[in-house]
Chain A
Amino acid sequence: MRSINRLRAVSVLALLILAAGALVPVAWSDEPETIVRVTARKFEYSPNEIRLKRGVPAIIELTSLDRLHGFDCPGLGLRTDIPPGKTTRLRVVPDKSGTFPFHCDVFCGEGHEDMTGTIIVTD
């Protein structure tokens, strides 16, 4: 009986630690994370060139000033919707260097096709 209670207490503690970990991943990581803020609006990203370092964790923080846009960088396997009135975060640890184009993949109007940019990852 006692051992069951003890087991239960240990599991609860483990869950608490896991939950705390989920809330503060940045603080727990040994590498400082770069935060890149990107604003999306018809029909551009600002900035439209993002520079990252290979192996260095980064957070791309996206906000939209007008309507729903998308952010799709197939070369690095990154994609998200960017709904207005909300901050959307993408965490990335680039595992290769190079130039990776990204584009808006939510059809957003007459200039949609020009809504592009690049992520440049250096060693």
Chain B
Amino acid sequence: MNSKLDRRQFLKLAGIGGVVFASGMGGFAEAAKTGTVGKDFFFVQLSDTHWGFKDEKVNPDWQGTLKKAVAAVNDLESPPAFIVFTGDLSHTTDDPKERRNRLSGFRDIAAGLKAGNIRYMPGEHDASLDNGEAFKEFFGPTRYTFDHEGVHFIALDNVSDPTSSIGDAQLAWLADDLRKLDPETMITVLTHRPLFDLYPQWDWATRDGAKAIELLTPFRNVTVFYGHIHQEHHRMTGNIPHHAARGLMYPLPEPGSVPKKAPIPWDPAHPYKGLGFREPKAIAGKSIYSLQEYPIR
């Protein structure tokens, strides 16, 4: 069996959509059973581009930073397997028309990325004021799954509900998806807000995130990548590592380090400081990622 096929393609070819894999079928099935990656690959995580944000003191290059990131990703030695944007593609506006302007402006720049596949996710700035309606018009569903080289990816939406809840319907959808998987399967969750209580004082939490973590806990090889906090951050909950990425418009202070959460002003001596993107690498036969962080220069 060709290990390059993703699960959906495989199911389609084999004509057994929805049927659990028999053992010894190679590719995704083999890798999923052992909890390891089928073949080396890496993807790129970009986050919190806040297209439409404008404050010269915070980022005088508010129109250029995302373009710089796109150029930097296109300059990588080899192209990523795919790219994910973990939310806050655009900056909040109360005006539905302007929201669409911003999302389309963002989309046009992101279209310059050289990658086979780009996966988009909403942040609360994109989706919380209209329950993800505008986001869906541009980028499709706010939650979905896909498979790559034995890794099962799950994009979870914890922002379309303005109370920052995943919601019972989506939790049932998650439980249903997980039910089909072997406990050894390497699972990678992509989301915008942290699923755990990182710093609820600054809204750095998901109201029912603990329920998602509980559903994921029986699986031994789970990794979560998220955005929202505009800085690199790593935390374990049980055996699940959670990795926050830097943003591409403005950095935010460390949780609780200052009385009030506010963007860190631009430092002319160190332009683009705190902004960057990430490259998680999956190595064949292993079940963890090695992370490489790239600054914007």
Tell me whether chain A's interface is mostly helix, strand or loop, or mixed.
Answer: mixed
Neighbouring B residues of A74 by C-beta, 8 Å: 200-201
B214, CB-defined interface residue at 8 Å: no
Interface string of A85-123 (1 = CB under 8 A from B): 000000000000000010101111110110010000000
B261, CB-defined interface residue at 8 Å: yes
A50, CB-defined interface residue at 8 Å: no
B129, CB-defined interface residue at 8 Å: yes
B124, CB-defined interface residue at 8 Å: yes
**Contact A105:B163 (CB < 8 A) given known A75-B201, A116-B260:** yes
Q: How far is the CA of A109 from the CA of B164 in the complex (A)?
A: 14
Q: How far is the CA of A34 from the CA of B268 in the complex (A)?
A: 50
Q: How far is the CA of A107 from the CA of B202 in the complex (A)?
A: 12
Shortest Cβ gap from A97 to chain B (Å): 17
- Give the number of chain A interface residues (Cβ < 8 Å): 17
The residues in B between 242 and 297 inclusive whose CB is less than 8 angstroms from any CB of A are 259-261
Chain B CB within 10 Å — which of A68, A70, A74, A105 has the most? Answer: A105
Contact: B163 with A103, CB < 8 Å? no
B93, CB-defined interface residue at 8 Å: yes
Q: How far is the CA of A109 from the CA of B261 in the complex (A)?
A: 17
Chain A CB within 10 Å — which of B94, B203, B259, B261 has the most? Answer: B203
**Contact A103:B92 (CB < 8 A) given known A108-B162, A113-B261, A116-B260:** no
Q: What would 17 A/B residue contacts be, using CB atoms closer than 8 Å?
A: A72-B200, A74-B200, A74-B201, A81-B163, A101-B201, A103-B201, A103-B203, A105-B200, A105-B203, A105-B207, A107-B162, A109-B92, A109-B129, A110-B92, A110-B94, A112-B92, A116-B260
Those 6 A-B pairs whose CB atoms lie nearest each other, nearest first: A107-B128, A107-B162, A74-B200, A107-B124, A109-B94, A110-B92
